[in-house]
Structure 1
Amino acid sequence: MKKLYFKVGYTLTGLILFGALVYMGIGYFIYSTLAKADPGCSLDCENTPSSYQDNSKVSDFPFEKYIVDYWESHQYSAGDEDIQIDAWWIPIDRNGPGQAPVVILVHGLRSSKYDSDILLVAAILNQAGFNTLLFDQRDHGMSTIEDGKISIGTKEYRDVIASVDWLVNTQSINPKSIGIYGLSMGAGTAAIAFGLDNRIQAAILDSGFSDLYTIVEEELQREGYPPWLAKGAIWSAFIFGNETLLEPSPKLAFKNHDDRPIFAIHGTSDRRVLPHNTSDMESLATKYGANLTIWLAKNAIHSGVKFMYLEDFSNRVVEFFESNLEGILKDNKE
């Protein structure tokens, strides 16, 4: 009888170990597939702040009205060994940034500073008198390929902090005049950086999220995987990729707000990052007493609020930064 119990126990243990290995194997496959980056600029390589279009589809949007005359290319260290950030610096004019405030713009997943969505926001702000800084997050665009994997902001936030360092140390920017705008994954990245660096005075989170576990689950569902595989993907990312995909969290923007304002924007018809991810920020703001304003734009798709409600978007974004950043605006509209 004891031998029988031993065999049964041994078999059960083996089955459990086998099941765990299979679960982890599936998790690693999902992680390595969904986290794969796509560096470079794809169809957008000819885009610049002074001439760009949406190359992913035919569009009659008047991008030619939202361009800048002067911009500079720069590279700087991300603070991590051997990682260089590739950036476009758009001062208010060729004489430099003057006393105008600065907004750092953070692109989304598998995108870059070459993307028309982020270039449009940069031009809107520059025409309103703001300096702007666009950069490629690591493993994106022309910045260093670290490991070819996307970390949904948990490593990329260091690129934002390095950008703040560059503005303060190289361009002599007053930290009281620095704001940030993040789009999609860039909103998550921006939120983490905002929570960890109080030199950033105000943040706009466009089509973003605050709970990383939820966004991993929803990304799996969007790609056709059951959400219960999320833990396997996260564990595999940690064991095989040294990635802590849940920390640091965008929730830090609310925990460490220090009464700095946050403006969250989301389209109600967004199917890429579901709009509840922004609505859920209200409970975080209430819990931590954060200064949060939310705009849920009716019928707008992912990253589409700026296109569907261009005038309203422009006015709200400009007014938010104008009200919360120190500096003197210069009208750069023709």
Structure 2
Amino acid sequence: MRLKRVIGITTAALVVVVAGGALAVGDYVYTSGTSVACAVNADDVNNKPEHFYTAPSGEGPFEGPGWEKWVGYDLSAWWLQDYSYDAVKIPVADNIELAAWWIDAKNETSNKTVIVTHGIGTSKQDFNTLLPTAMLVKNGINVLLVDQRDAGESTCTDGRHSAGQEESSDFAVVADWLVQNEGIQPASIGMFGVSGGAIATSLVPAKSDKVSAFAMEGTIFDFNAAATQEVEFQGFPGFLWQFALTSARLFHGVNLSEVDVKDSIEAAGNRPMLILHGDIDQRLDYQSSVDFYNYAKAVGADIELETFENADHTEGMLTETERYAETLASFFKNSLSD
């Protein structure tokens, strides 16, 4: 009897130790895998709406030699040198402000406005956020270009992203701010997110009725699959994702799967959605956008998928710039009210 009790206690202790060890590993994966710099990246510091440049060698949005052809690529035709902009700070939670640039498109006949945001680990000063911003402004659409929390010039809370969960809640408040402070009606407000910003954008329909159209440069559909892929990209075994998810909840109070993509698609109702995605994207699997599109169609959502062949991560805006600009601008022109 005594031996059985000892074995039982020992087994329970081992379970606790193993579980504790797994959570510790999960916490390490979470804190390191979601870490972002609360700053503007060094290669983006000089980028502004009036002049911006592609990333230098080795710093592009995707890995490998394929980026080299875009180093020093001339984007001057898209510089917003004839448009003024104002720096604003938008309070979204206690002691948290998002830094943004308000760019007036000088369109006296329309008040269409799009919230634009960047990918994970970048800021509003990244070329692949400034370029689509210019596409919209030059087509007469106002832009509020926003740094997410823990990015660029916005408040640094913990130096980690939350896979779009906290960020999408912030953008619901940003939409409220546009209504209350700029007098823009919800029917005139859209949102466009690049990469990680697209993930946040995909969750906004579930959190706000003040945004009437959503465009995404790449996105995810199966969050667990995408998170596993991201953990592997960061150099960890994929199965550790589940430990990271649990550790985020227990130790940091962050639920990385709080709002499900499917629920947000359904919450969009008849509000239009657009996905633009390169079919050889290394960072966000193109198939994920296809799955997103297929599910949205199946539930009767208003959605378009624009594919850029042989384009890597965010590369479609460079390989077919004019088509990208026409698609993006036309979508918001047709989806938003003046």
SS state at 2:143 partner = strand
Residue 75 (str. 1) matches residue 80 (str. 2): no
SS state at 2:140 partner = coil
Cα contact 1:187–1:208 (8 A) shared by 2:
yes
Paired with 1:98 and 1:71, the residues of 2 have a C-alpha distance of 19
Q: Which amino acid aligns with 1:47?
A: N
Match of 1:28 in 2: 27
CA spacing shift, 1:275–1:249, aligned 2, 3 Å: same
Residue 170 (str. 1) matches residue 177 (str. 2): no
Paired with 2:109 and 2:44, the residues of 1 have a C-alpha distance of 31
Paired with 1:188 and 1:55, the residues of 2 have a C-alpha distance of 22
Residue 152 (str. 1) matches residue 163 (str. 2): yes
> What is the 5 A alignment of 1:146-225?
146-225=157-236
Correspondent of 2:132 among 117, 121, 136: 121
Correspondent of 1:92 among 99, 105, 118: 105
Q: Which amino acid aligns with 1:53?
A: Y
Q: How many angstroms does 1:299 deviate by? A: 1.1
Match of 2:243 in 1: 232
Q: How many angstroms does 1:97 deviate by? A: 6.9
> What is the 5 A alignment of 1:227-266?
227-266=238-277
Identical amino acids, percent of aligned pairs: 27
Correspondent of 1:282 among 281, 287, 293: 293
Q: Which moved more, 1:208-217 or 1:121-130?
A: 208-217
Task: Note the residue ranges of structure 2 that are not aligned, 5 or more in a row.
Answer: 58-69
Paired with 2:298 and 2:333, the residues of 1 have a C-alpha distance of 27
Cα contact 1:189–1:250 (8 A) shared by 2:
no
Residue 63 (str. 1) matches residue 62 (str. 2): no
Paired with 1:5 and 1:270, the residues of 2 have a C-alpha distance of 56
Match of 1:331 in 2: none
> Cα deviations across residues 199-229 of structure 1 (Å, max 9, x unaligned)?
2111111111133222211111112322211
Normalised to the residue count of structure 1, the TM-score between the two structures is 0.92
Paired with 1:326 and 1:106, the residues of 2 have a C-alpha distance of 21
Q: Which amino acid aligns with 2:91?
A: S
Paired with 1:249 and 1:163, the residues of 2 have a C-alpha distance of 21
- Counting matched residue pairs gives 323
Cα contact 2:191–2:213 (8 A) shared by 1:
yes
Q: Which moved more, 1:280-289 or 1:316-325?
A: 280-289
Cα contact 1:202–1:260 (8 A) shared by 2:
yes
SS state at 2:328 partner = helix
Match of 1:9 in 2: 8
